[in-house]
Amino acid sequence: MRMGGSLMQVYKRSCIALLALLMVAGFDARAYGAPRRPFRGGGHPVPATSIGRYRLHNHPNGPKGPPLYGLRLDGLLTLDRHDVFTFDFDAPESAMFMDLSATGIHIFGHAFGGLDRGRGYKAGSTGVFLIDFKYDSGVSALRRDRGMPDIAVTGGCSLSNSGTIQAMFGSNQTPIPLVAKCGRRGNSFRFGDKNGSGHRGFDGLSGWGRLNHNGLRHMKASDFLFTAEKIPEPSSLALLCLGLPLLMSRRRAGNR
């Protein structure tokens, strides 16, 4: 009985921890509902196995690190292209996420960042920024991908693939517009493991894509560059929390 009680305590703590994780992640049950009809544009529909919510982290190969970052927007607050602004997705104050659906990508959350002076931020330049960006045009899976089918945004460089970043400190907290920036082949964003070889030496999942801000021409460099891990689907967590008590009660009954 003591062992059963101990297992029950472990179960309770696990469920509480999982519930807390979902609350911190800002879980929206609709994100895990039935996927919308597949995207009919260029490429293939986003695979059902890729759809879900991801927690975003710094990429280990950001050229201006340390500090490491998941987003870089040069000249963001100063409009000087020589001023490097980076955003630390793994800072204690940060919580960045990405929702991937059958037809779109939503990157959102809050991140700590500021004017990057190399090995640290300029004093007085740092704080928390709200980030909200959507790719809802030209999203599809790449063909003939040897690894996980990478998701790409192609031919979607328009105001429809856009968002904002907003400083939550200082005297100017006006949202700053962000717009996708297309490369030479019309690609503006990619997410995956780059044909199984990884992106910039990271063999897991990465997201990368160039951006414009403040309504200006592209400032080199301004881009997403992050790694990602998929958050377990809540349906699986719910089944775990609902099923364990029944299983344990049956085991106790069988031991009597």
For the chain (256 residues), the mean pLDDT of every run of 10, in chain order, is 51 50 40 32 74 96 90 95 96 97 95 94 95 93 78 75 95 94 82 80 89 89 95 64 50 51
User: What pLDDT shows up at residue 32?
Assistant: 28
User: What pLDDT shows up at residue 92?
Assistant: 97
User: What pLDDT shows up at residue 106?
Assistant: 98
Cβ neighbors of 47 (< 8 A, separation 6 or more) are 141, 149
pTM, 2 dp: 0.76
Task: Specify the 3-state DSSP secondary structure of 46.
Answer: coil
Dist. CA 74–CA 70, nearest whole Å: 13
Lookup: tokens for 207: 């997201």
Do 185 and 157 contact (CB within 8 A), yes or no? no
User: What pLDDT shows up at residue 237?
Assistant: 52
* CB < 8 Å & 24+ apart, contacts of 19-23: 21/231, 22/234, 22/237
Task: Give me the torsion for CA of 200, 206, 207, 208, rounded to 10°.
Answer: 0
User: What pLDDT shows up at residue 200?
Assistant: 75
Among 209, 207, 202, 174, residue whose Cα is nearest residue 188: 209
User: What pLDDT shows up at residue 143?
Assistant: 75
Dist. CA 7–CA 207, nearest whole Å: 40
Q: Is 48 exposed, middle or buried (0-12, 13-18, 19+ CB in 10 A)?
A: exposed
User: What pLDDT shows up at residue 65?
Assistant: 81
Do 104 and 88 contact (CB within 8 A), yes or no? no
Query: How many residues can be counted in the chain?
Result: 256
